[in-house]
């Protein structure tokens, strides 16, 4: 089976073909539109000079002819002989200049004129027999005067151009493909579960945009790997405590049955089930639902009413805003934030707010709890991270609520942030984009 060419080779060949074609077209254009007309004009001018020299030679007195011949040879490189040069021959293999000269001489003299080749002092010369008064003389000029080698010149130009085209094409192809090779290496590393080196976000606009996407993907993969490790470590750590209590209660039940111990076993099982359920919900991710038009004031009022049933005062201050978002996701996200505010608010009133902002709207859950240290406002979104370090679910929760909030926000293109309130407490804000926009970058 024939092996396909690499992209580098294909691009190099295409560029070489384009360069060589352009070079050929340019050579033909220069030859036909510039060089040949110039050669024809130069041959015509030289033919006029040769005919004039032959006529002048016939008209001059014999005593002044030697000075005229010397000046003619010195200034114009033309030699006049009254006898045919020895060995004069016509091989018919003249170049374009000599052929144009023959045509011009024929037109000026009124009779056919041929150019012959004969050596002079060991050098190649061209000779033509022209009328001079009542007789004819031979006028010659060195082949070096013509000096043009169009075929050799064309071949040299084509060879040099081909080499330059190949080198340039190879350089351009490699320069173009280098970012793609880096992208390929990064994709291979991602496929192996590794975090590749970040790509330089420079160069052409499309390559820079693709590099940004790959870098963002690499960071996301790394975050997922770190989250997976954290999930497994946190789950195993948090399950040890109820398992230890269950083992102890089972040993005590073997000695003396007690309904209270059985109730504690059931509570530990429920705690483990809840912890495993929350971990699985975070681990498997949350698919994006279809957006549904939702009245924000009604949504917040429904959440507030559920919280008021537990004895916590909740106030709602929402502008008349309608959003088109996944209803279950936004309900779950705000529910987790409200649950955190209820857990840490110490029974103080909770405020729910909704207001329009540039590019969408934002919804806030505000409490009067102890707040969060500034250096942990971002860390609390990591799985199993808790500001309260006792690991007691009754006081610090499982550490998964805000992680689920962040995942819901990322899955639906929202932005979630925390900030401490003036006077104490915490503000949790969720920014929803306007219709047709997405804040996931």
pTM of model > 0.95: no
Of the options 3.30.565.10, 3.40.50.920, 3.40.50.1220, 3.20.19.10, the CATH number for the domain spanning 287-433: 3.30.565.10
pLDDT for the residue 297: 92
Of the options 1.10.287, 3.40.630, 1.10.3470, 1.10.1060, the CATH number for the domain spanning 199-284: 1.10.287
Domain boundaries defined on the chain: 7-152, 199-284, 287-433
Do the domains 7-152 and 287-433 sit in the same CATH topology, yes or no?
A: no
Per-residue pLDDT of the chain (441 residues; tens, 9 = 90+): 456 666 667 777 777 788 778 877 877 787 778 777 877 888 899 889 998 988 998 888 989 989 998 999 889 889 988 888 887 777 666 777 888 888 999 888 888 988 888 888 888 888 988 998 888 999 999 888 776 566 676 677 778 877 887 787 778 777 777 777 777 777 777 677 666 677 777 766 777 787 788 787 777 777 666 666 665 665 665 676 677 777 777 777 777 777 777 777 777 787 777 767 766 665 555 555 677 888 999 999 998 988 888 888 999 998 898 888 888 888 888 988 988 888 888 888 999 999 988 878 999 999 998 888 888 888 887 766 666 644 444 445 556 678 778 877 877 888 999 999 888 889 999 998 865 444 444
Residue 31 burial (CB < 10 Å; 0-12/13-18/19+)? Answer: middle
Contact yes or no for 372/380 (Cβ under 8 A): yes
Chain centroid to Cα 201, Å, comes to 8
**Would you list the DSSP string of 127-152?**
EEEEEETTEEEEEEEEHHHH---HHH
Between CA 383 and CA 407 the distance in angstroms is: 10
Within 10 A of 257 (CB to CB), how many other CB atoms are there?
9
Q: Which CATH architecture has domain 7-152?
A: 2-Layer Sandwich (3.30)
Burial letters for 185-213: b for 16+ Cβ neighbours within 10 Å, e otherwise?
ebeeebeeeeebeebeeeeeeebeebbee
pLDDT for the residue 269: 80
């Amino acid at each position: 089976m024939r092996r396909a060419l690499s992209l580098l080779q294909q691009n190099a060949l295409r560029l070489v073909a384009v360069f060589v074609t352009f070079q050929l077209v340019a050579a033909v254009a220069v030859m036909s539109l510039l060089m040949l007309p110039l050669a024809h004009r130069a041959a015509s001018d030289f033919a006029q000079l040769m005919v004039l020299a032959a006529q002048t030679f016939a008209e001059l007195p014999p005593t002044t002819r030697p000075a005229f011949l010397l000046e003619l040879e010195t200034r114009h490189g033309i030699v006049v002989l009254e006898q045919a040069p020895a060995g004069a021959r016509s091989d018919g293999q003249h170049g374009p200049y000599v052929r144009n000269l023959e045509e011009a001489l024929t037109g000026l003299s009124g009779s056919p004129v041929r150019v012959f080749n004969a050596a002079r002092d060991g050098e190649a010369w061209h000779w033509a027999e022209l009328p001079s008064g009542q007789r004819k003389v031979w006028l010659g000029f060195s082949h070096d005067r013509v000096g043009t080698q169009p075929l050799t010149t064309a071949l040299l130009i084509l060879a040099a151009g081909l080499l330059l085209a190949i080198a340039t094409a190879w350089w351009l192809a490699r320069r173009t493909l280098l970012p793609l090779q880096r992208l390929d290496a990064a994709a291979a590393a991602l496929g192996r579960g590794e975090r590749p080196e970040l790509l330089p976000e420079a160069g052409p606009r499309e390559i820079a945009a693709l590099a940004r996407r790959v870098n963002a993907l690499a960071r996301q993969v790394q975050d997922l790997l770190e989250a997976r490790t954290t999930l497994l470590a946190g789950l195993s750590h948090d399950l040890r405590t109820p398992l230890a209590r269950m083992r102890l209660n089972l040993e005590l039940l073997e000695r003396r049955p007690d309904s209270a111990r059985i109730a504690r076993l059931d509570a530990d099982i429920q705690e483990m089930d809840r912890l495993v359920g929350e971990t699985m919900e975070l681990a498997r991710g949350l698919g994006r639902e279809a957006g549904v038009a939702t009245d924000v004031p009604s949504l917040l009022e429904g959440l507030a009413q559920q919280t008021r049933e537990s004895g916590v005062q909740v106030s709602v201050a929402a502008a008349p805003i309608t959003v088109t978002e996944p209803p279950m996701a936004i309900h779950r996200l705000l529910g987790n934030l409200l649950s955190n505010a209820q857990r840490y608010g110490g029974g103080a009133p909770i405020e729910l707010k909704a207001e329009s902002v540039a590019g969408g709207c934002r919804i806030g859950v505000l409490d009067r709890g102890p707040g969060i240290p500034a250096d942990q406002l971002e860390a609390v979104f990591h799985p199993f991270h808790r500001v309260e370090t006792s690991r007691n679910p009754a006081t610090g929760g499982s550490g998964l609520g805000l992680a689920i909030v962040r995942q819901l926000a990322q899955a639906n293109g929202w932005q979630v942030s925390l900030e401490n309130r003036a006077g104490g407490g915490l503000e949790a804000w969720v920014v929803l984009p306007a219709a047709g926009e997405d804040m996931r970058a």
